[in-house]
C-alpha cells in the first residue's frame, strides 16, 4: 500500500466513510482498508471515528501526526511520534509551536565577513558559515586585520559569494 493510499484512506475514514466505500475509491480490498484502520486507530463506527481520532492524537499513547499507537520502551522518555517521518511532517505543519525563545536567539557578527547572523542557543559562535571559518582560519595572517576590500578579493579567489558592503555593529 502506497503512502498516497494511506493518506487517502485516513482522510476518507475521518469524513465518515465505511470500509467498503473507501476500498472502492482507493482501489484496494475491504480487508486491506479494515486492517489499515485497525492498526492506525481508525477502527469503530465511522461516525464516531473523527471525534475519537482528534482525542487520541492528544493522548500521549498515540502519535501526534497519524494517531498510530506508540510502541514505547519502559525506560524511555516521553514519545510523541511513531517515526522520524511523522515528527518531521508534524513540525512542518506546526512551525509556530516551537519552544524556541527570543532569549536563546543571539544576533552576532561574523569574525571574518562582518555580516550579522542569528545563532540559536550558542552565544559564543564566531562565524556565520563554514566557508567563513575556513577563510579566516587558513587564508589570513593572524597579525593583520583584513579590510573589506581584501575580504572581497579573497572571496572571489575562493569562489564565495561577495558580501554586502554595509556592516552593522552590535552594541555590547
pLDDT at 10: 84
Look at the pTM and tell me if it is higher than 0.85.
no
Dig out the grid coordinates for 152 from the structure. Answer: 572581497
Rounded to whole angstroms, the Cα distance separating 51 from 53 reads 6
Q: Which of 31-45, 89-103, 157-171 has the lowest mean pLDDT?
A: 157-171
Query: Based on the structure, what is the number of domains in the chain?
Result: 3
Are residues 48 and 69 located together in one domain of the fold?
no
Q: Which pLDDT tens digit goes with each residue over 52-85?
A: 666 555 556 778 788 787 877 766 667 788 888 9
H-only helix segments in 15-143: 19-26, 30-39, 46-58, 84-93, 130-138
Whole-Å CA distances, 13 to 8, 38, 58, 93:
8, 11, 19, 21
pLDDT at 169: 45
Residue 163 lies in a domain: no
Find all residues with CB under 8 Å of 160, minimum gap 6, and list them: 131, 135
Are residues 10 and 50 located together in one domain of the fold?
yes
Q: Which pLDDT tens digit goes with each residue over 125-153?
A: 999 988 888 888 876 565 666 677 777 77
* Domain assignment of residue 130, given as a range: 102-158
Residue carrying the nine cell digits 510502541: 71
In this prediction, residues 105-120 reach a mean pLDDT of: 88
Radius of gyration of the chain (CA): 26
- Report yes or no: 46 and 35 within 8 Å, Cβ to Cβ: no
Residue 169 lies in a domain: no
Mean pLDDT for all residues in the chain = 77
Amino acid at each position: 500500500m502506497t503512502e498516497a493510499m494511506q493518506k487517502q484512506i485516513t482522510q476518507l475514514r475521518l469524513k465518515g466513510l465505511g470500509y467498503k466505500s473507501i476500498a472502492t475509491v482507493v482501489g484496494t480490498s475491504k480487508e486491506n482498508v479494515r486492517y489499515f484502520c485497525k492498526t492506525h486507530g481508525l477502527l469503530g463506527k465511522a461516525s464516531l471515528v473523527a471525534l475519537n481520532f482528534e482525542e487520541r492524537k492528544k493522548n500521549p499513547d498515540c502519535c501526534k501526526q497519524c494517531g498510530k499507537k506508540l510502541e514505547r520502551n519502559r525506560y524511555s522518555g516521553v514519545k510523541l511520534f511513531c517515526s522520524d517521518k511523522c515528527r518531521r511532517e508534524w513540525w512542518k505543519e506546526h512551525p509556530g509551536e516551537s519552544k524556541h525563545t527570543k532569549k536563546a536567539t543571539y544576533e552576532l557578527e561574523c569574525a571574518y565577513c562582518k555580516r550579522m547572523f542569528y545563532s540559536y542557543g550558542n552565544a559564543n559562535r564566531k562565524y556565520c558559515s563554514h566557508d567563513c571559518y575556513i577563510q579566516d582560519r587558513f587564508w589570513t595572517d593572524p597579525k593583520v586585520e583584513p579590510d573589506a576590500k581584501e575580504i572581497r578579493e579573497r572571496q572571489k579567489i575562493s569562489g564565495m559569494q561577495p558580501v554586502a558592503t554595509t556592516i552593522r555593529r552590535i552594541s555590547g
